[in-house]
Amino acid sequence: MKKIIISLICLLTIWEPATLFAQGSASRKLDAMLQIINYAYVDTANEEKLAEDAIKAMLKDLDPHSVYIPASELKDQNEPLVGKFEGVGIQFNIFEDTIMVTQTISGGPSEKVGIRAGDRIVKIDTSNVANIKITNSDVMKKLRGDKGTKVVVGIFRRGENELLDFEITRDKIPLFSIDA
């Protein structure tokens, strides 16, 4: 243990991290931090997870519409752009670990039952979906489904004292280039 501590002190002294972090671009600082973690941290670290967490933290400071979509979920996110799919007809972001409706698809099932942009989905059927580290693909698995099937969502809406439940019948969701 003594050898590890002495090695770590020597390594950090050689690198002069205060100088390293004070100068250079943000990307250099992140690269330097990852190098220090790789060489000096006592356990092995998952660099991919550290990088994704750093990206999410940076975007969180911007606005609710700036989100990071991991490559593993990008195909599912882009699927609606190719024409049509079956589901509830919303666009959403996960903001502060809650599903926030950013837009309902015009003429879609969610719009028809009264769901609005700004609504926060906290329950899907009987499952709590708030503050559980839900991913975009998890949300899509729960909300998409065959035409005619039903899903109940619990909505927190600003200005309402109680949770609002909406039963949505899934349908084909056509996507148009222009909403007119």
Following DSSP, what letter does each residue of 116-146 receive, concatenated? -TT-EEEEETTEE-SSS---HHHHHHHH---
Q: Calculate mean pLDDT across residues 151-165.
A: 93
| pLDDT tens digits, 27-83 | 888 888 888 888 888 888 888 888 888 888 888 888 777 777 777 777 666 655 555
pTM here is 0.55
H or E element at residue 10: helix 2-15
Return d(Cα 130, Cα 124) in angstroms, integer: 10
DSSP states along 85-121: EEE--EEEEEETTEEEEEEEPTTSHHHHHT--TT-EE
Residue 107 backbone dihedrals phi, psi, to 5 degrees: 80, 0
Within 10 A of 169 (CB to CB), how many other CB atoms are there? 14
